[in-house]
Amino acid sequence: MPLIELQTGQQGVVRDLHGGRGFKSRLATLGFTPGASVRMMRNNRHGPVIVSVRGTQIALGRGEAQRVLIVKAEESDVYPTHY
């Protein structure tokens, strides 16, 4: 599911990034790598979302958050995140 679908306070695990090399590189530099735990800090359904990843809060545009695929934390035990 896309990161944008997490509600404020929900957690997930990064599964994949959809986008070009530049997008993937930039987000990986910010800590969005497969297996990384993320927590939605603010998702007001408009404007950027605020996500906590690897101890840092990061603002992502809604389009960017749509391209970060995650598994909800309670489902992460069912779906392996390592390839």
Q: What span, in angstroms and rounded, lies between the C-alpha atoms of 72 and 51?
A: 14
Q: Which domains are delineated in the chain?
A: 3-75 (2.30.30.90)
How many CA atoms does the CB half-sphere of 24 hold within 13 Å? 9
Which pLDDT score is estimated for 73? 83
Which pLDDT score is estimated for 81? 46
Which pLDDT score is estimated for 74? 74
Which residues, in sequence order, are bridge partners of residue 49? 60
| Sequential pLDDT tens for the chain (83 residues) | 999 999 999 999 999 999 999 999 999 999 999 999 999 999 998 999 999 999 999 999 999 999 999 999 875 454 444 43
Which pLDDT score is estimated for 75? 58
Reported pTM:
0.84
Residue pair 38/51 in contact (Cβ under 8 Å)? The answer is: yes
Helix (H, G, I), strand (E, B) or coil at 36: coil
